[in-house]
A and B are shown apart, each in its own frame.
Chain A
Amino acid sequence: MSFVRGLQCRECGQEYPKEPLHVCETCFGPLEIVYDYDAIKKSISREKIASRDKNLWRYRELLPIDGEAQAGLYSGFTPLVRARRLGEALGVKELYIKDDSVNHPTFSYKDRVVAVAISKAIEFGFDTVSCASTGNLANAVAAHAARAGLNCYVFIPDGLEQGKIIGSAIYGPKTIAIKGNYDDVNRLCSEIGDKYGWAFVNVNLRPYYSEGAKTHGFEVAEQLGWKLPRHIVVASAGGTILPKLSKGFKELVKVGLVEDTGYKIYSAQAAGCAPIINALQKGTDLISPVKPNTIASSIAIGNPADGYYVLQAVRESGGWGESVTDKEILEAIHLLAQTEGIFTEPAGGTEVAVTKKLIQNGNIPRQESIVISITGNGYKTLEAVAGSVEKPLTITATLENFDALYQQLNPTVTAKAASG
């Protein structure tokens, strides 16, 4: 049973039926799913959710599918890690990592949105799915399409990391690299989507697709024992996830799953591509697009279509945002790895570095609970850190050689003492 009433323009309020539409015909505003929350409230409960499989479909009443889930049956329900060592390093009392770097099957938060988009594409009867992507989304679309037996075309900017390119190609889609940046890819795809009638997950299925992002927030609340986090930090690229976390938290209150204890939400961007943070800090609603120049390629979107809604959600919650340099991003990747054993891509480094900055600047208090959303996996972007990790120490296989090396590494310890 579906609780979806239809689509509605976020800007002018015009209503539309449940179809593969994404843009309001009147004002070009984005369309949003409208649910029957009263009916959901009567149907949903913590116990019901707890009885279901540990994947993102456990919140299905608040997701926009009509029938049974068709994709992503193992996606979501990623760990919420209590980050004691990182918390100590940042000087805060209660810190958690919501770790979507281990999402199934392609190791980023995109497995959530794609699970919903592919299910919906199948419901609508599409045979070909596609996307414009900086890499992670392409990986997720290609993998989920393969499992569903759908044709797949993915569009990426040229010059992406190998892990992101091969991480799509392995699933057998047609991968098309566009000379230019993500914003060029995006523009072309909106024109291709118009012409070819495919299910473009982030174009004509966007209202459905973006709803999947809410599950990241639902899980955080459930894993905190059905409580909203006090502070949550997440990266902003095109601007999908942050407003959806906010929408998801409000829905949990509306349907009676959590108490309205308030939350503050913070946006993280790389200094080399910070159009949303620029507008936030200037106090304006107008986002001036930028030409991205950062190692955080997965969030290098200079013209964020939903940036306006990021600003809205951040300001409404009383949160804030910061941008950090590539150097700070790299240091934060190392810090997260070396304190919590979690290897994230530069987007995740951005989230950690921004959290650090917000704590240092006093924007986030040290005594309250903080969640950092880690949205992607470092094994896909080895190039970004290859130059900043220690090289292996190569020796021949003799004990003498190791003794000598050990001595060199630990000059104050005698070999005898070391062998105990």
Chain B
Amino acid sequence: MSVRVRVPTPLRKFTQGVDEVSAQGANIKALVEDLEKNFPGIKERICDETGKIRRFVNVYVNGDDIRFLQNLETALKEGDNISIVPAIAGGC
């Protein structure tokens, strides 16, 4: 089973500049581990020391924020689109 992951600019140094990669994982947690296996160092940028997604990182599955789903436990299925997006503010 594989999903597509869109990689934001600050993380592309880990993916040799590629902006979209394939990855595996039954849920977000497993997906992050899989990314780390192929792109060593990337996990530390996405997760804090306790393993939680960093405060200023938003993760979306098919456009839905995982905080509205089951966070790291959010289940993934074949062909899902994952976006990792730095939180941005200001825009009223």
Contacts and interface: CB of A to CB of B under 8 A. Distances in A.
Interface stretch (A188-196, A385-393, A402-410): A188-196
Contacts of B38: none
Interface in B1-45: 6, 8-10, 13, 19, 45
A206 B60 contact: no
Interface stretch (A40-48, A236-244, A362-370): A236-244
Nearest to A212: B90
Contacts of A110: 92
A184 B56 contact: no
A7 B18 CA distance: 26
A347 B92 contact: yes
B91 A26 contact: no
A82 to B, nearest CB: 27
Contact of B85 (A25, A191, A237): A191
Contact of A289 (B55, B67, B83): B67
Interface string A345-369: 0010000000000000000000000
B90 A240 contact: yes
A133 B91 contact: yes
Interface residues of B, number: 26
Interface stretch (A91-99, A299-307, A333-341): A299-307
A187 B63 contact: yes
A382 interface: no
Contact of B92 (A24, A189, A237, A303): A237
A317 B45 CA distance: 32
Contacts of A237: 91-92
A326 interface: no
A22 B89 CA distance: 11
B88 A22 contact: yes
Given A28-B57, A30-B56, A303-B65, A190 B88 contact: yes
B58 interface: yes
B83 A187 contact: yes
Contacts of A26: 45
A288 B88 CA distance: 16
Contacts of B90: 113, 137, 202, 206, 209-210, 238-240, 305-306
A301 to B, nearest CB: 7
Given A26-B45, A187-B85, A134 B56 contact: no
Given A25-B10, A194-B9, A202 B88 contact: yes
B85 A134 contact: no
B91 A28 contact: no
A135 B92 CA distance: 6
B54 A28 contact: yes
Given A25-B10, A237-B92, A190 B86 contact: yes
Interface in B54-74: 54-58, 60, 63, 65, 67-68
Nearest to B13: A25
Contacts of A308: 55
A183 interface: yes
A306 B89 contact: yes
B88 A27 contact: no
B63 A305 contact: no
Interface string A192-210: 0011000000110010011
Contacts of A189: 88
A186 B68 CA distance: 16
A106 interface: no
Given A187-B63, A289-B67, A289-B68, A304 B54 contact: no
B22 to A, nearest CB: 18
Interface in A23-43: 23-30
A191 B83 contact: yes
A131 B6 contact: no
Contacts of A190: 8, 85-86, 88
A247 B27 CA distance: 40
B61 to A, nearest CB: 12
A28 B92 contact: no
16 contacts: A25-B45, A28-B45, A30-B56, A134-B92, A187-B63, A190-B85, A191-B83, A202-B88, A202-B91, A203-B88, A237-B92, A240-B89, A240-B90, A305-B56, A305-B88, A306-B89
Given A23-B86, A206-B89, 17 more contacts: A11-B56, A23-B8, A27-B45, A28-B45, A30-B87, A131-B91, A135-B92, A137-B92, A183-B65, A187-B58, A187-B60, A191-B85, A195-B19, A202-B89, A203-B88, A240-B90, A375-B92
In order of increasing CB-CB distance, the 10 nearest A-B pairs are A305-B89, A305-B87, A240-B90, A238-B89, A306-B89, A28-B56, A202-B90, A23-B86, A237-B92, A25-B10
